[in-house]
Amino acid sequence: MADFQEESIGLDHYGNDDFEAGLAEGKPLKRVEDLLLNMGPQHPSTHGVLRIVLDLEGETIVKATPHLGYLHRGVEKLAENSTYTQIIPLTDRLDYTCSMTNNYAFVRAVEKLLQIEIPERAEYIRTIVAEMQRLAGHLFWLGTQALDIGAMTVFFYTFREREVLLDLFELLCGARLTMSYYRVGGVDRELTQEIIDRLYKFLETFPDKVTEYNTLLETNRIWIGRTRDVALITAEDAVSFGLTGPPLRGSGVNYDVRKAEPYGVYDKLDWEVPLGKNCDTYDRYWIRIEEMRQSASIIKQCLDRLPSGPIITDLPQIAYPPRDKIQTDMESLIHHFMIATQGFKVPEGEIYCGTEVPKGELGFYILSQGGNRPYRLRIRPPSFIHMGAFDHMAKGYMIADIVTIFGTYDIVMGECDR
Amino acid sequence: MNPSALKIKEVHPDAVLSEKTAFGELTVEIDKAKIFEICQFVRDEPSLHFDMITDICSVDFPNETPRFEVIYQLYSVEKNHRVRLKARVSEEDCAIDSVVGVWKGANFLEREVYDMMGIRFNHHPDLRRILMPEDYDEGYPLRKDFPVEGRGWRDNFENLSED
């Protein structure tokens, strides 16, 4: 594949001048011209608004130039003018299919700067919810990727399970998509017994459901034909491009933030990082399937060990007072008002904090000058960095493969453009 | 002193301006002119081996000189350690050497820094705006003197609240 460009496609290749010259010499000639094809910004497979300009030689891609920014809302600029609590809803709108993990990544960064301890129960709940979100994210990916490639059934199957998870999120925090459930210092609401029971029930059948998706795709000739050896990238290139998450692990590089720099309660649990070896889309598919099994196991282990206790830190300068006190006690009401209107102060300093989200490593770099707003907040979006490798990974493939190559990153433009 | 910082300082003593460890993270400030050299060194030196570019971003300090700061977050997959390199860029000579030759992923990240902060990268293969439209001429949005609401038609009207 890689040395495609050096080879001609079997026809005599002439530029315009050569063509005229060839005519004068009386040679039999075929003229080959490169075709410039615009794809997007509105295209169902781009999962957002993305425009790609493709240089084609016949049906083969010679160069793919992504034009980003159609969904740019200036989140980083907005964040500089918002208090830390006000930024949590902004992070929902990055990768809007996995808002829980975005919230988690952001609050972890602020907590690192504040250097505060999180209650144990809160850590467990955070891990459970982040893994539920990973399941929902991977289910979303599997359904849409299969749909883009042409298998419609998988979409209905995966969205059936995703629906159960979204119902649980709704029960947990009242929202299904933009959740804003995490808070600096803990979480917003209690994981009730009803949710725990329903989650147990869900986990009983979920591994069988994953097997069910797998039977639809694993040995499906069309699926294999369209994902095997498509979007190849070597381990060395993947690291150099800064890929993270399943695209990196598909190339056999063992890097998962949850293992490399453990947070939450991941280091107390028994789970594995699946690694691919063929560097192609099929291996990334397999990794996501395997990660779903691992996530289900992580949730189950967390539920079994879930300790009791508070769900948010009791530091009065950061957390709201309890609800019943706000309604009965004047001091608490004032306290609540102060935090809600002015936010809390964060000490001077700068940190980078990466978190493993379904798409890869979502990092936050926060530079604080001691106020209630960040001086600079930089989001390291995995989708944006994956798009940097797009041209490299699309070269030499057929035009029909382009939707597979989009899908291989699990790209979401809200996060890419911010 | 952190072993990574020690190693950089040992081989390139005049390139390291300062180094500090805070919140368990190492930050090394590098002379702007030496940035490509240092990046290549930290990637290739076996005891450092920073083979992954995590992020490139920039910060604007309008009241300081030099005004801008370009920040490189690096990670080593093999060693599992991180470093943050920094280089100051002045407003008058608003350019720094590109590190695309060291890490391929730097291409889009540097384009974003150029787009948002207006810092040019010498020898960058394709330095164009990336998130804003290519013909956008209202400035660089992440600079501190750029209004949050943006510039544009609003500036043509008087602000009633100021009277």
Q: Domain ranges in chain B?
A: 3-142
Kindly state the average pLDDT of the residues A303-317. Answer: 88
What DSSP letter does each residue of chain B carry, written as one string? Answer: --HHHHHHHHH-TTTEEEEEEETTEEEEEE-GGGHHHHHHHHHH-TTT---EEEEEEEEE-TTSSS-EEEEEEEEETTTTEEEEEEEEE-STT-EEE--TTT-TTHHHHHHHHHHHH--EEET-TT---SSS-TT--S--TTSTTS-TT-SSGGGGS--GGG-
Long-range CB pairs of A55-62 (<8 Å, 24+ gap) are: A56/A399, A57/A9, A57/A32, A58/A9, A59/A398, A59/A399, A59/A400, A60/A4, A60/A9, A60/A396, A60/A397, A60/A398, A60/A399, A61/A394, A61/A395, A61/A396, A61/A397, A61/A398, A61/A399, A61/A401, A61/A402, A62/A5, A62/A34, A62/A395
Does position A156 have pLDDT exceeding 50, yes or no? yes
Asked if residues A168 and A181 have their Cβ atoms less than 8 Å apart, the reply is no
pLDDT of residue A3: 44
- Give the whole-angstrom CA distance, residue A381 versus residue A364: 9
Contact check, Cβ <8 Å, B57/A378: yes
Shortest distance, CA A382 to any CA of chain B (angstroms): 10
Peptide bond into A41 cis (omega under 30): yes
The per-residue pLDDT for A290 is 92
pLDDT of residue B49: 87
Low-confidence spans in chain B with pLDDT less than 50? none
Q: Which residue of B has its CA nearest to A413?
A: B131
| CATH numbers and ranges of domains, chain A | 1-33 (no CATH), 89-317+395-413 (1.10.645.10)
Tell me how far apart the alpha carbons of residues A85 and A180 are, in angstroms, rounded to a whole number: 10
Asked whether A68 and B134 are in contact (CB, 8 A), the reply is: no
Question: Which residues of A fall within a CB distance of 8 Å from B129?
Answer: 69
Distance CA B127, CA B114 (A): 8
Question: Beta-carbon neighbour count of residue A198 at 10 Å?
Answer: 15
Contacts of A105 in chain B (CB under 8 A): none
What pLDDT digit, counting tens, does each position of A222-252 carry? 888 888 888 888 888 899 998 999 999 988 8
Q: Which residues contact A197 (CB under 8 A, 6 or more apart)?
A: none
Chain B residues whose beta carbon lies within 8 Å of the beta carbon of residue A48: none
User: From the centroid of its chain, how far is CA A149?
Assistant: 20
| Contact list, A418 vs chain B (CB under 8 Å) | 131
Q: State the pLDDT at residue A11.
A: 45
Q: Count of residues for chain A? A: 418
Q: How many CB atoms lie within 10 A of CB B65?
A: 10
Judged by CB atoms closer than 8 Å, whether chains meet at B77 and A354 is answered as no
Contacts of A240 (CB under 8 A, 6+ apart): B51, B52, B53, B103, B104, B105
**Are the Cβ atoms of B73 and A115 closer than 8 angstroms?**
no
B105 touches chain A (CB under 8 A): yes
pTM above 0.90, yes or no: no
Which band of pLDDT confidence, cut at 50, 70 and 90, is reported for residue A2?
very low
Look at residue A58 and tell me whether its pLDDT is greater than 50.
yes
Pick the residue from chain A with its C-alpha nearest to B133.
Answer: A69
Pick from B23, B52, B148: which is nearest to A351 by CB? B23
- Interface touch A352/B25, C-beta < 8 Å: yes
* Identity of the residue in B52, B57, B109 whose CB atom sits nearest the CB atom of A365: B57
Say whether pLDDT at A106 is over 90.
yes
* Cα–Cα distance for residue pair B28/B35, rounded to 1 Å: 11
CA-nearest residue to B55 within chain A is A380
C-beta atoms of A352 and B148 within 8 A: no
Query: What is the rounded CA–CA span in Å between residue A313 and residue B91?
Result: 43
Q: Using a CB-CB distance cutoff of 8 angstroms, which residues of chain B are in contact with residue A375?
A: 59
Cα of A235 to nearest chain B Cα, Å = 11
pLDDT tens by residue, A3-53: 444 444 444 454 556 666 666 776 666 666 778 888 878 776 667 788 888
Q: Which CATH number fits domain B3-142: 2.40.50.100, 3.40.50.40, 3.10.20.30, 3.30.460.80?
A: 3.30.460.80
Q: Give pLDDT, residue A351.
A: 92
Give the ipTM.
0.87
8 Å CB contact of B116 and A76: yes
How close, in Å, is residue A141 to chain B by CA atoms? 24
CB contact under 8 A, A253 and B54: no
Q: What is the pLDDT of residues A76-105, one digit of tens each?
A: 999 988 899 889 999 988 888 889 999 999
Tokens at residue A222, please? 């069309």
Best of B69, B83, B104 to substitute, by most chain A Cβ atoms within 10 angstroms, is B104
Amino acid code (one letter) for A19: F
Q: Do A69 and B133 count as a contact with CB atoms less than 8 A apart?
A: yes
Contact A352 B84 (CB under 8 A): yes
Searching chain A, which residue's CA lies closest to the CA of residue B130?
A: A68
Q: Which residue in chain A has the smallest CA separation from B140?
A: A77
- pLDDT > 70 in chain A, percent: 92
The predicted pLDDT at position A202 comes to 92
Q: How many CB atoms lie within 10 A of CB A150?
A: 11
The side-by-side arrangement of strands in the sheet containing A51-57 is: A35-39, A51-57, A60-67
Query: Which is nearest to A389 in space by CA: B52, B120, B61?
Result: B52
Dist. CA A13–CA A18, nearest whole Å: 9
Over 50: is that where the pLDDT of A297 sits? yes
**What average pLDDT does range A266-293 have in this prediction?**
90
